[in-house]
């Protein structure tokens, strides 16, 4: 009790970047398994499939390639996720700082939600073009036709062909996806942290399992409300020019062609990964923040 709860956006930035790296360390193996299962060739009759399921894929990958086999291709997402989480926690810290009048007084739930939403706006600046490029590259490899040689080539071509608007295509959907879900993400985390703290103790002494639990649930809730706009966004960003007349048209077309369950495509893979990844993210964040606080208390 009585600890100084002053927030430092700068420390949040550094600790958030570390949290982002932890998110990938925990989440990437599941992503590798997901992609290997998604892309394994169909067995023709009389042949065995390579992997019978997630666990089988895990076992075979580790026994053939070692643990590092699960971490293949992590460089590119690491270069994106760590800065993204740094900006995210920075925005969250800034939002809290702007609304905090007295360091001894905790923020209200609304203020925490708004701080998380502000952070969602900040990340949109890098996430919207990042997702546009990522989605275009992801669908081109599954359709077999190679239009772009890599992320940079894709960015340059979009820019040359139709200008910055094309690079930022899907920004409104990114905002719809990330602003409220990010508010809920941080609110869930802070709320659960308080809820799990025994009476009379300080939140800053919360045990590791409880931090992991709060972070994991925050990640699941984020995805639960972010997934429907995410599905729409991926469709919009990868559609041929002029296919949709607007955002509502994307929704209408999806509901007509696939029904409401189309909004929760890829549900299992995503949820399996959200818990451990976000548990690790918040845990990494808290550990790094504690270190920074003891190294540079005045910042
Ligand atoms: C929240 O969910 C969206 C999903 O669409 C995802 O892009 C974003 O990275 C998630 N945020 C966090 C902090 O996990």
Asked if 122 and 88 count as a contact pair (C-beta separation under 8 A), the reply is yes
Cα separation, 254 vs 143, in Å, equals 20
* DSSP per-residue string spanning 79-127: HHHHHHHHHHHHHHHHHHHHH-S-TTSPPPHHHHHHHHHHHHHHHHHHH
| pLDDT by residue, tens only, the chain of 299 residues | 334 567 899 999 999 999 999 999 999 898 888 778 777 776 666 677 788 888 898 999 999 999 999 998 888 788 889 999 999 999 999 999 999 988 778 899 999 999 999 999 999 999 999 888 887 887 776 666 778 888 889 999 999 999 999 999 989 989 999 999 999 999 999 999 999 999 989 998 899 999 999 999 999 999 999 989 988 888 888 888 888 988 899 999 999 998 998 888 767 777 888 999 999 999 999 999 999 999 988 88
74 φ, ψ (degrees, to nearest 5): -85, -15
223 lines ligand 1 (CB under 6 A): yes
Closest atom, ligand 1, to C-alpha of 223: 2
Cα separation, 119 vs 150, in Å, equals 28
Asked if 182 and 127 count as a contact pair (C-beta separation under 8 A), the reply is no
Fold of the 9-291 domain: Mitochondrial carrier fold (1.50.40)
Q: Ligand 1 pocket test: pick from 181, 227, 234, 263 the residue with the most ligand atoms within 8 Å of its Cβ.
A: 181
* Structural domain spans, the chain: 9-291
222 lines ligand 1 (CB under 6 A): yes
Asked if 143 and 135 count as a contact pair (C-beta separation under 8 A), the reply is no
226 lines ligand 1 (CB under 6 A): yes
26 lines ligand 1 (CB under 6 A): no
74 lines ligand 1 (CB under 6 A): no
């Amino acid at each position: 009790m009585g600890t100084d709860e002053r927030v430092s956006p700068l420390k949040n930035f550094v600790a958030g970047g570390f949290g982002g790296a932890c998110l990938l360390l925990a989440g990437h193996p599941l992503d590798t398994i997901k992609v290997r299962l998604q892309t394994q060739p169909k067995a023709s009759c009389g042949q065995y499939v390579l992997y019978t399921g997630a666990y089988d894929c895990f076992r075979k990958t580790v026994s053939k390639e070692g643990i590092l086999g699960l971490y293949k291709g992590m460089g590119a997402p690491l270069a994106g996720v760590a800065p993204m989480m740094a900006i995210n926690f920075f925005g969250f810290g800034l939002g809290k700082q702007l609304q905090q009048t007295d360091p001894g007084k905790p923020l209200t739930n609304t203020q925490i939600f708004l701080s998380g939403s502000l952070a969602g706006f900040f990340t949109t600046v890098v996430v919207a073009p990042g997702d546009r490029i990522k989605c275009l590259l992801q669908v081109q490899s599954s359709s077999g036709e190679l239009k772009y040689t890599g992320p940079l080539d894709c960015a340059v071509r979009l820019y040359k062909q139709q200008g910055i608007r094309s690079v930022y295509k899907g920004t409104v959907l990114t905002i719809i996806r990330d602003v409220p879900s990010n508010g809920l993400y941080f609110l869930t985390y802070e709320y659960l942290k308080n809820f799990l703290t025994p009476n009379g103790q300080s939140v800053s002494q919360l045990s590791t399992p409880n931090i992991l639990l709060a972070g994991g649930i925050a990640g699941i809730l984020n995805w639960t409300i972010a997934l429907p706009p995410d599905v729409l966004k991926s469709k919009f960003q990868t559609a041929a020019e002029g296919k949709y007349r607007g955002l509502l048209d994307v929704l209408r077309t999806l509901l007509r062609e696939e029904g409401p369950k189309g909004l929760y495509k890829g549900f299992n893979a995503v949820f399996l990964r959200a818990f451990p990844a976000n548990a690790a993210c918040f845990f990494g964040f808290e550990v790094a923040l504690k270190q920074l606080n003891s190294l540079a208390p005045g910042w």
